[in-house]
Amino acid sequence: MNRRSILKTVAASGLAIAIGLGSLVAAPAHAQDKKTIALIPGLTTDAFYITMRKGAQAAADALGVNLVFQGAPDFNPVLQVPVLDAVIARKPDAILIAPTDTTQLVEPLRKATEAGIPVITVDTFIGTGKYQTGAGDADFPLSYIASDNVLGGRMAARALAEAIGGEGKVYVSNVKPGISTTDQREEGFKAEMAENFPKVTVLETQFNDNDANKAASQLQAVFARNADLKGVFGANLFSALGAGNGVQQAGQTGKVRVVAFDAPTSIVDNINSGLVDVAIAQHPAEIGYYGVVSAVAHLTGQSIPTAIGTGFTVIDKDNVGDPNVAKYIYSN
Ligand code: T6T
């Protein structure tokens, strides 16, 4: 191969990686002007955010920027705000954050913008999630990168309705009101049931504060009040884990059907044993990857989309063994 065709081949393979990165894949930054991007997760010990961090780190390595990962041990705005303040004080070049409350993070994040630090929200949003519109007082983040959570809730409703034969009592095991993602999943779930499954009764939502043990006790309490309970939708990792454990502890595996949002490693056993019918895996690594790419694009003078949607993979007993599906199971 002559020099020109080698260059062409290199350029072509580079193109696939660089789609959307524009000039960002050019020369790596010099050590002293290496940009630093901070990623603040909803909480540090959740496999969803651990997987997001891996995607973010992959992009940071590819683009020659530093990634700092700093968060609180629980999904709680009271704990997240001091972490955010500490990150702002270190003056990173950009902040990626999963805000733990749609309203309580607005003013703390405004401080970042006022300090000249661009903000992108990942996974969750503040305000309405419609950014850079000139409307409302929470549209200042540059971009929102996440799953379509209303759609995810609708997908969960269809899966659960199918599992229970289109009729009977179900409920949503959820974290707490005020979190954009889980609020939207519940909204989508209820809308889908109301529109397309009139024989399904959705009981009152049980809020577990992201505590799987509480979600398990709540399942048993709901079952004690409703012996004809047919199913439960666990609206995030801990809600689903706990609701599934509750079903197992009540001796109802396969009788009270479970649809889980998120895909921790334990989901494989839970699907294989029949405890969980369907898990809707988000693509957190994609969220992290595009978060860093977008931040670097902005920092190098490119315009960026105000919203980027990432995908889902629906996992059930028929495909859980397929490596192309299993790769979406979250890292620990
Ligand atoms: O479901 C994810 C995330 O999307 C949500 O905002 C909070 O809970 C998780 O992190 C799972 O625990």
pLDDT above 70 for 146: yes
Furthest C-alpha separation in the chain: 76
Task: Select from 235, 260, 259, 127 the least CA-distant residue to 185.
Answer: 235
**pLDDT (mean) for 23-42:** 72
pLDDT above 90 for 292: yes
pLDDT above 90 for 171: yes
For the full predicted model, state whether its pTM sits above 0.95.
no
222 burial (CB, 10 Å; 0-12 / 13-18 / 19+) is buried
Query: From atom 11 of ligand 1, which residue's Cα is the shortest distance away?
Result: 237
Cα–chain center distance at 118: 21
**pLDDT (mean) for 304-325:** 98
pLDDT above 80 for 162: yes
- Tell whether ligand 1 has an atom less than 6 A from the beta carbon of residue 48: yes
- Tell whether ligand 1 has an atom less than 6 A from the beta carbon of residue 330: no
Cα distances from 320 to residues 6, 131, 272, 314, 317, in angstroms, run 41, 37, 8, 9, 5
233 contacts: CB under 8 Å, gap ≥ 6: 153, 156, 157, 160, 170, 171, 172, 173, 185, 189, 259, 261
pLDDT above 70 for 27: no
Q: Which amino acid is at 282?
A: Q
Look at residue 209 in the predicted model and tell me its pLDDT.
98
**Which range (14-18, 64-68, 108-112, 141-145) has the least confidence?**
14-18
Q: Please answer whether residues 326 and 295 qualify as being in contact, where contact means their C-beta atoms are separated by less than 8 angstroms.
A: no
Cα–chain center distance at 220: 27
pLDDT above 90 for 29: no
Would strands 312-315 and 278-282 be described as parallel, antiparallel, or unpaired? Answer: antiparallel
**pLDDT (mean) for 213-232:** 98
The whole-chain average pLDDT of the chain stands at 92
- Tell whether ligand 1 has an atom less than 6 A from the beta carbon of residue 237: yes
Cα distances from 116 to residues 94, 95, 112, in angstroms, run 9, 11, 7
Query: From atom 5 of ligand 1, which residue's Cα is the shortest distance away?
Result: 181
pLDDT above 60 for 22: no
Helices (H), the chain: 3-18, 47-63, 77-89, 106-114, 149-163, 180-196, 212-225, 237-249, 267-272, 284-299, 323-326
**pLDDT (mean) for 24-48:** 79
Q: Please answer whether residues 300 and 24 qualify as being in contact, where contact means their C-beta atoms are separated by less than 8 angstroms.
A: yes
Query: From atom 2 of ligand 1, which residue's Cα is the shortest distance away?
Result: 236
Q: What is the CB neighbour count within 10 angstroms for residue 216?
A: 22
Q: Which atom of ligand 1 is nearest to the CA of 149?
A: 4
Domains of the chain in start order, with CATH, are: 3-141+283-311 (3.40.50.2300), 149-282 (3.40.50.2300)
- Tell whether ligand 1 has an atom less than 6 A from the beta carbon of residue 101: no
pLDDT above 90 for 269: yes
H-run or E-run covering 206: strand 206-207
Q: Which atom of ligand 1 is nearest to the CA of 146?
A: 4
Cα distances from 146 to residues 310, 311, 318, in angstroms, run 6, 8, 27
- Tell whether ligand 1 has an atom less than 6 A from the beta carbon of residue 46: yes
**Which range (6-20, 66-80, 95-109, 295-309) has the least confidence?**
6-20
Look at residue 33 in the predicted model and tell me its pLDDT.
84
Residue 88 CA, ligand 1 centroid: distance in Å: 24
- Tell whether ligand 1 has an atom less than 6 A from the beta carbon of residue 131: no
Look at residue 124 in the predicted model and tell me its pLDDT.
98
Q: How confident is the model at residue 9 (pLDDT cuts 50, 70, 90)?
A: very low
